[in-house]
C-alpha cells in the first residue's frame, strides 16, 4: 500500500462512513490497553539500520514509552545499536541533543564493539557519552534472559 | 539475493542434487519442532509499517500461528499497530473481513494512540471494532513483562 | 541518512572533534555491558526476508553471539526461517559451509512448513541437513514461552 493508496483509502472511507459491518461494530471498544501490574519495567530497543528516518522513529518510540501514562517513572530503557544502526551514535548526526535528553531520563546508550571492528568505525567518531558492549547480540540475549522486553522498530520505507 | 538469483539458485540445485555435504547430510532430521508443554500461550504481534504486502504477511502469520497443530486452541494473540502500521486498520483497506475473522478467533486488535496524534489520523477513519491503547511501546512492554511472546514480521521488500 | 550522508557526517565530526557537549562527555563510560549471571542462554533468531545481505547479516549476528566473551560456551541458538527467509536454506545459495559450521556449533536450523506450501518450495531444493517445523510462528511462540530470547535482525537496505 503506497501512501497514495493509503490516502485515497482514507478519502474513500470518509465517503463511505456508513459501511460498517454491524457484526463487529461494537467489538473491541471495551479494551483500552493492557494493565500495568508491576512496579518496574525494563526494555531493550534494538536499532540495526541507519538512516535519519530510522533513528528519528526509534528515538521517538523510546520517548513515547517513557511517557506512557501506565508506565511513567517505572521504565528502564537500553538502546542497543549494531550493524548500520551505529549511525544513531555518529557525531554531528543531528541527534546529540535528543540522545543526551534520553540519557538524562536514564536511557542506557550502548554500541556493539563488533560493529566498530567490522565496519571500520572509529570510536572517536561516535559520541563520547555512549557505552561500548562486547556484542550487540550478547547484550540483547542477556537482557531478555533477565526479563527485559525486546522491541525492534522497523526502519521506515522512505519511499512511502 | 534477488528473486531471480534465488530462482536460478533453485534451478541450479536441481541439476546438482548429488552435491550434498556428506558430513551434514543426516543432521537435523530428528528435530521436528519445539514441544508445546504449556496449556496456554500469549503472543503480541507488532506491525509498524504500512503497505498491502506487510499487512497481508502479518495477518497470514497470525493465522498460521492459530492453526499450528501444536498450539491449536491454546493461543491468545494481540496485534499492535503503531507508526505507519496503522494502515492495517484504515477503513476500506481490503482487510476488514480478515480482521473481523481474526477478532472472532479472539485476536485483540489494538492501535497506538500516539500514532493517531502524531500522524494526524482521525479515529473515525479506522475500523470501529479496534481498540485504542495509550502507547504501542507501552503495550508491548507490559505484554512482554507478563510473559507474552513478541513477534515482529519484516515488511516484505516488494521489489523482490 | 544515506551512506554518503553518514560518511560526510563522520568526516565532519573529525573536523569538529572539540565540539563535545561537556554535560554528557563523561557519562556512559562506566557501563561496559550487561553482566551474564546465568549458566545457560537460549536464543531464537528469526529470518523472514531473502537476499544475500540479509542472510549474511543474520548468520554473522549468530556467529558474533556465539563468540561474545560473556556467553562463550553457554548459548544455544535456533535459526528459524519463514516467508522469503527460506532463501537462507536454498541449496547452492553460497551459505552451505557457513550453515554447516553453525550447525556443528550446535545451532538448530529450522524451516517453517507453511512457507514451503504457500510459496511452493520443494523440500528437496533446501539443504537436507535442516529441520522442518509445523509453523514458524508457533516455533517462535513456544521458544519464547520457554524463556528463549528473540532476535530479529533487520534486512539491510542494499541501496544504502
Digitized pLDDT (tens) for each residue of chain B, 160 residues in all: 334 334 333 333 333 333 333 333 344 569 999 999 999 999 999 999 999 999 999 999 999 999 999 999 999 999 999 999 999 999 999 999 999 999 999 999 999 999 999 999 999 999 999 999 999 999 999 999 999 999 999 999 754 3
User: What ipTM was estimated for this complex?
Assistant: 0.84
pLDDT at residue C6, as a whole number? 45
Counting residues of chain C whose pLDDT is more than 70, the rounded percentage is: 80
> Cα dihedral sign for B1, B7, B8, B11?
positive
Q: Are A58 and A153 in contact (CB under 8 A)?
A: yes
| Residue A92 with chain C: CB contacts under 8 Å | 9, 12-13, 16, 19
Phi, psi of C37 (to 5 degrees): -110, 15
From CA B11, how far away is CA A157, in angstroms rounded?
32
Of B144, B83, B31, nearest to A53 by C-alpha is B83
**Start-to-end C-alpha separation, chain A:** 9
Residue identified by cell 547484550 is A139
- Identify which of A90, A141, A146 has the shortest CB distance to residue C6: A90
* Residue contact B139–A27, C-beta within 8 A: no
What b/e string do you get for A129-153 counting C-beta neighbours within 10 Å, with b at 16 or more? bbbbbbbbbbbbbbbbbeebbbbbb
What is the rounded average pLDDT for all residues in chain C? 85
Of B61, B71, B21, B33, nearest to C109 by C-alpha is B33
- The sheet that has B41-47: what strands, in order across it? B131-133, B108-112, B75-81, B41-47, B149-151
| Residue C43 with chain A: CB contacts under 8 Å | 137, 141, 144
Of B41, B57, B128, C73, nearest to A21 by C-alpha is B128
Amino acid at each position: 500500500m503506497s501512501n497514495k493508496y493509503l490516502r485515497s483509502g482514507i478519502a474513500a472511507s470518509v465517503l463511505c462512513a456508513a459501511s460498517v459491518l454491524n457484526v463487529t461494530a461494537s467489538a473491541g471498544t471495551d479494551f483500552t490497553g493492557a494493565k500495568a501490574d508491576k512496579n518496574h519495567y525494563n526494555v531493550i530497543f534494538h536499532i540495526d539500520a541507519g538512516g535519519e528516518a530510522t533513528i528519528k522513529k526509534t528515538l521517538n518510540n523510546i520517548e513515547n514509552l517513557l511517557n506512557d501514562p501506565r508506565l511513567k517513572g517505572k521504565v528502564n530503557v537500553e538502546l542497543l545499536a549494531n550493524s548500520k544502526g551505529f549511525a544513531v551514535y555518529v557525531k554531528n548526526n543531528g541527534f546529540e541533543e535528543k540522545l543526551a535528553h534520553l540519557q538524562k531520563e536514564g536511557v542506557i546508550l550502548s554500541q556493539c564493539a563488533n560493529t566498530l571492528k567490522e565496519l571500520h568505525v572509529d570510536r572517536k567518531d561516535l559520541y563520547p557519552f555512549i557505552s561500548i558492549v562486547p556484542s550487540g547480540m550478547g547484550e540483547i540475549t542477556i537482557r531478555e534472559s533477565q526479563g527485559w522486553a525486546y522491541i525492534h522498530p522497523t526502519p521506515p520505507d522512505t519511499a512511502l
